[in-house]
Structure formats: C-alpha cells, structure tokens
Amino acid sequence: MSRIRLLGEQTANKIAAGEVVERPASVFKELVENSLDAGATRIDIEVVNGGKSLLRVSDNGEGMDRDDALLCLERHATSKIREDADIERIITLGFRGEALPSIAAVSKLELLTRTQDQPGGTRVVIHGGRLLKVEEAGAAPGTVIEIKHLFFNMPARRKFLRTPATELGHIQHLFQLHALAHPEVAWRLTVDRQLAAQLPSAATLEDRVRELHGRDYLEQLVPLEVLQGGLKVLGFIGRPGFTRANRREQYFFVNGRPIESKALHYALLEGFHTSLMKGRFPVALLFVSVPPEEVDVNIHPAKREVRFRDEWLVRDAVARAVRLALGGATFIPQGGGAQPKVPAHDSSATGTSTGREETKSTGDVQAQLIPPRDMVGFRRGVFSVASPKSAWPAPPSQAEGAGGSRPESAPSQEGHVGSSASKDGGRVETSRSASSEAGAQSRPSGPGEGDPKPLDGAQIQVLGVLSNLYVLLESPDGLLVMDQHAAHERVLFEQFLRQMRSGKDAPSQMLLVPQTVELEIRDAAYLTENLAGLRALGVGVSPFGPRTFVVESLPPELSRRDPEEVLREMVDELQRGGTGVRPQRMSEEMVASAACKQAVKAEDTLTEQEIRGLVRDLLAADLPYSCPHGRPTMIRISFTELERRFGRRPGAV
C-alpha cells in the first residue's frame, strides 16, 4: 500500500494559509492590496480586538459580479495575469490568487460586492473554507470583505497570536505604509468602534506626511528626487540631526509596493556618508520607480521583499539622490528651544580638558557670564585685542601629501581674534535635532520665504572665540557658533577622500612582521574580489593559498591594531554591504580618524586669518554642516530667537 497520498483540499488550504496568513496584519495587507488593485479611491477599515475578532475592509473599487465573486475564492484564480510571462511585467500589488482562499480557509469570511453597472450585489459566506451561502444582496458599488474569528479552526495557531494591542500595532503600521504609498486614496480606520484615523485624499506626498506625522515632523525632512535612466527615486529624508536609534522609520517603496530591502538600507547609509553619529539611523521615505521587468516581486511568500535585476544601479541612484539632497540644503541646528539631549562632546576627540565644567542642557543656550574686565576691547568684528600666536598645527608630512595642509588664510581686515574668555568660560550647549523653528526655515516643498540661505563667506563677520573652541560669527540671519575642531575635521576629511578617489593609493605603513590570516571559503572569495580596493585604502594584502592571505601593510591610523582583526572587520563590511559595496565606504572610519587626529583641538588658539580661512574652506565642503562623526560643525541663533529671549519684538527699541 502506498504511503504517499494526496492531501484534502481543506488541509492543503490550511497549510498554504500558513505562508500567506501569519497574523491579522497579513489579512489586512492582502485585503487592502486587493482594494487598491481594484482602483478604489476610498478605503474604510474596521478592527475589533486587534483584528482577531473582526477585520472589515470596505472600498469603492470596481466590484465583482456573481461569477467573479465565487471564482475569486478558488486557489490561483486572479484577474491580474494570464500567463507566466505576465509576472515580468506585473504592475499590480497582487497576482498569485492565493490570498482570499487562504484567508477563507482559516476564518469566517463574508464577501459583499457589486459592480457599477449592476442593480444589485452578491453576498458570499464561507466558514473555514466551506461555502455556506451565496445570495443577492443590496450593496453600494465596490467590495466589502469581513473576516471574523481568525484561526477559529486552528487553536494551536491562534494561541501564537499576540495581545490585541500588539496585533493592532502591526495593522496600524501597514495602514501607515499604504496611506503613504497612495496619498490619492482617502482612508478611514476604526478601532473597537472608535475612529482612530481619517485621512482625506491628498494632492501630494507632502500633504500625506503632514497628515500622518504632523507639521513639526515634516519640517525635519528634506525632499529628494533623482531621475537616472529609467529609474526614478523620490521622497524625503530626515535632516542629519533628525535620527532614530533603530531603522523603524525607514520606509521603502518600489513601484508603489511597501517593501523591506537591505540593499536600499545600505544605499541610504552610503548616501548619508558621514552625516550620522555612530549608533544612529536616518529617517527616510523613499519611493523607487523602475520598469516592471527590472524587478522581481515574486521572491517572498508575503511579497515583502523584491530582487532588482541591477541592484548596484538602484543602490547607486538612491545613494546619489541622498547625497544631492544633503548637499543642496542648509542644515544648521538652531541654538534655542526645547530639544532632545545630545551625546556629550567627545573630549578625547577635541582635546577638551576633562576638568572643564560643563553646563547642563536644558534646551536653552547657556553660557557662564564673562566678567566685564574680560571684555576689554570688544567692538564690532573684534572680540579681543589680544594677539595670540598662530596655533594652527601643521599636519605631518604624509598628511600634507593627502591635502591635509592648513587652509591658506585670507588677509585680515578686522584685527585678530583672541581668547580673552577664561578657560572656565562658557560653553554653548546644542542639540543634534533642529528645533521647530529651524525646521520651519527648511520646508520639504523647497525654498520658501523663511528658508535659510546658503552661507556666503563674504557676509560672515568674525566676532570672537568662546573658550578657545567655539568661534562666534555674525551672519545676515543671526549668530553662528562654529566648533573649530569639528569644522577643521570636516575640511580635512573631504580633502583626504578626494585624494583617495583621485586614484592615488592612501598612505600605507609596512608591518615589521607580515601576518598570515586564514579565512573561511566564503570570506576568502569576498576578499579576493576586493583586493585592489583594499590596497587603495592602504591595506596591503596578498593571497598566500586558497584561503590564506598575508597582511603586509596597514594605514598609519591602524598600524597599532591587530592586522587579522582589521582584515576580518573589512571582510564583514563587504558581506554586510552586499554586491557592489564601495571599498571607499570601509575607509571612511580610517579617514575620519586621521582627520580627527590632525584637526585643531580645543584650546588651540587661532588667528583671525586662520579662522577666516577655516570658515571659507568649511563652506566650500560638500557637507559643511556636520563633522565626519555626525556632530554639527555650527549652530545658528537667529535674530528672531534673540529678540524673543530679550523680550523684544520686531521694531521695538
């Protein structure tokens, strides 16, 4: 007797449902995608008990006649494709014809539908995959699908569902994603008989973001748009200071489909380059449009992932769009208002004395008062009459070869900048996140009346230096406070990167004793493909067998580290980055470390000519508003903020 037998239809449907229906949010996703594919312009969702007791989706789409209403509940019945070749040109969200029969197999389903040209509709009732009722019924044009008691016939599966609040959270997340992907659709979400969200149709993505997250959130975003061949990238990214501790607010869409993508995540990080602090993740809403034949949407049971035919092209376009957005906007954090706390300034990086007293951040600009006698000689453009010696440290010879020599100083017209403030003098606390006022000055819709203009070095006047670290500058928009260490760090960092990208190999220091390293087969393959790129970074490594390599030299900044550890870290970075990862990205930390060590430190006294040269070089940088570690190079205190703090109004005397 044969031990192999065919499974019954209901058993097969329950097994198939395990791939498609994981939780109530899975049901929500499939039903909403069907509504969108049907051309709905209004979608209403009702959720009870986190979707475990009731999940109802109503739309005003095309609707179905009686025959289609019955056929749509059969496995692999779909209106989206006719043959396998159609999958390569698919533009709809659904196409497999698996969702409805899978959902019907594990729930109590009721379908009510009507087309525009029919006088009446059709009601279909199915419990656990069994057809119970088909009848004519009154209905508005469109479709209503009601799912009750999910997994009622699978007690073991039902026990794995989380609390109603957790399940509702997953539904609300998908609600948000689809509302962002389709701002032209009006949405309504009811939770436990109470209205939770109502979104009218929006003319633009910007309007939809404002409806979902609020004006303050929108003001922290920067628009981007790039057209590269047949590929288009548009959306919003957060300002460099507007970050999160995880990736939860990174939303990716491909041809209108919400997806999860490691490739797009790494492209986003590559675009942000060094504008992020360690351990922080950017906020992003990115929409990628590619020809349907260039993306495979049929690689995941729940269609959460896609595969690009040319992943490197997509990654490059996304990274380029992010870089252009960051380079074309002004990101100077405001120095006032209630703001999140910023990590303490790295005293080891800036050379700040650990004995210096720090003021506590309260969201306000705080500074210790300077005694009147220390302000002798204060006048417009001149903070102190002291004439300190030039203290711009000349980089080592190898750094000079890397373009790391100090910037050429402009002739002084205002005298010298001194440091009459005592070493215990005030420090200006700032936050990485811009205040709402700063956000209002840079709206995603483009330059507006209140937008800060890109800084012009000719309009900036040096006022003085606070605590031998913070340079006070006057601009047409208000007071600028520049961190001299962070600013010089950014200047040197970009100089070093330009040298590296010019084709010249980075400086390298030979090891006294070359070290052999044996890697796993897969790691060895990754390394072999990128040997030339590593040599350009100053890492001299050669094959010494199928899985063995010899490390002969390292960049000077890494010469004290274990060569094997350095090599393994670089291989890990290659693997995390996936296909086409740029070897230069692995060099950023090394270059940032070199720039940090060679930049001027706190308590290094600069002449006014050197400060002007530093300001000029900083404003000429690609990303002048943050250091390579993501800290701001300067903050802005607007005249409006100063007037508010002093109780003045425009026109007041």
pLDDT score, position 186: 98
Q: Which pLDDT score is estimated for 286?
A: 97
pTM: 0.69
591: tokens are 């270059």
Same domain for 58 and 186?
yes
**What's at 437, amino acid-wise?**
E
Q: Does 344 or 289 have the greater pLDDT score? A: 289
pLDDT digits (tens, 9 = 90+) for 105-142: 999 999 999 999 999 999 999 999 999 999 999 999 99
Per-residue pLDDT tens digits for 162-218: 999 999 999 999 999 999 999 999 999 999 999 999 999 999 999 999 999 999 999
Residue 650 within a domain: no
- Whether residues 463 and 406 fall in one domain: yes
Confidence (pLDDT) at 214: 94
What CATH number is attached to the domain comprising 408? Answer: 3.30.1540.20
Residue 321 falls within a domain, yes or no? yes
φ, ψ of residue 180 in degrees (nearest 5): -70, -40
Mean pLDDT to the nearest integer, 619-638:
88
Tokens 């942000």 belong to: 272
Listed residue (117, 116, 143, 189) closest to 37, CA to CA: 143
Confidence of residue 532 (pLDDT cuts 50, 70, 90): confident
Over residues 469-505, the pLDDT tens digits come to 999 999 888 899 999 999 999 998 888 778 766 766 6
Position 568 in a domain:
yes
C-alpha span between 113 and 100 (Å, rounded): 14
In a domain, 539, yes or no: yes
Examine residue 278 and state whether it is found in any structural domain, yes or no. yes
22 shares a domain with 147: yes
Collapsed DSSP state (helix, strand, coil) of residue 252: strand
Answer whether residue 651 shows pLDDT above 60: no
Boundary of a domain, candidates 277, 293, 327 = 327
Q: What is the CATH number of the domain that holds 316?
A: 3.30.230.10
Q: Specify the number of domains making up the chain.
A: 4
CATH number of the domain that residue 39 is part of: 3.30.565.10
User: Last residue of some domain: 272, 299, 327?
Assistant: 327
Residue 2 lies in a domain: no
Contact call for residues 109 and 103 (beta carbons, < 8 A): yes
Q: Which residue has the higher pLDDT, 21 or 395?
A: 21
Tens of pLDDT, residue by residue over 301-339, are 777 889 999 988 999 899 999 988 987 766 667 665 444
The neighbour count for residue 484, using CB atoms within 10 Å, is 27
Segment 436-480, tens digit of pLDDT: 333 333 333 443 333 445 566 667 888 889 988 999 999 888 899
Please check whether residues 166 and 38 belong to one and the same domain: yes
Counting residues of the chain whose pLDDT is more than 90, the rounded percentage is 41
The mean pLDDT of 264-293, rounded to a whole number, is 89
CA 141/CA 65 separation, integer angstroms:
11
Is 618 within 8 Å of 490 (Cβ atoms)? yes
Opening angle at CA 87, ends 81 and 93, nearest 5: 75
Which residue segment(s) compose the domain that 87 sits in? 9-199
> pLDDT grade, residue 85 (50/70/90)?
confident
Size (the chain), residues? 653
CA quadruple 330, 495, 628, 534: dihedral positive or negative?
Answer: positive
Q: How far is it, in rounded angstroms, from Cα 369 to Cα 637?
A: 18
* Highest mean pLDDT: which range of 5-19, 493-507, 607-621: 607-621
Averaged pLDDT for residues 549-576: 83
Low-confidence winner among 141-155, 185-199, 555-569, 603-617 (lowest mean pLDDT)? 555-569
User: What pLDDT score was predicted for residue 6?
Assistant: 83
Are residues 180 and 54 both part of a single domain?
A: yes
State percent of the chain over pLDDT 70. Answer: 75
Are 19 and 98 within one domain? yes
Q: Which residue has the higher pLDDT, 47 or 556?
A: 47
Using CA atoms, how far apart are residues 242 and 281, in angstroms rounded to an integer? Answer: 9
- At residue 582 the predicted structure's pLDDT band, cuts being 50, 70 and 90, is low
Burial of 357 (0-12, 13-18, 19+ CB in 10 A): exposed
Q: Measured between alpha carbons, how far is 268 from 403 in angstroms, rounded to an integer?
A: 28
Q: Which residues of 431-442 are buried (b: 16+ CB within 10 A; e: fewer)?
A: bbbbbbbbbbbb
- Domain check: are 357 and 465 in the same one? yes
Mean pLDDT of the chain: 78
Query: The domain spanning residue 572 has which CATH number?
Result: 3.30.1370.100
- Residue 513 sits in the same domain as residue 478: no
Question: 228 and 291 in one domain?
Answer: yes
DSSP string, 127-167: ETTEEEEEEEE---SEEEEEEESTTTT-HHHHHT---HHHH
Does the residue 127 lie in any domain? yes
Q: Are residues 58 and 92 in the same domain?
A: yes
Residues 31 and 149 both lie in one domain: yes
Domain co-membership, 142 together with 215: no
Does a structural domain hold residue 443?
yes
- Residue 596's pLDDT band (boundaries 50, 70, 90)? confident
Confidence of residue 390 (pLDDT cuts 50, 70, 90): very low
Check if the beta carbon of residue 351 is closer than 8 Å to that of residue 601.
Answer: yes
Of 199, 228, 260, which marks where a domain is finished?
199
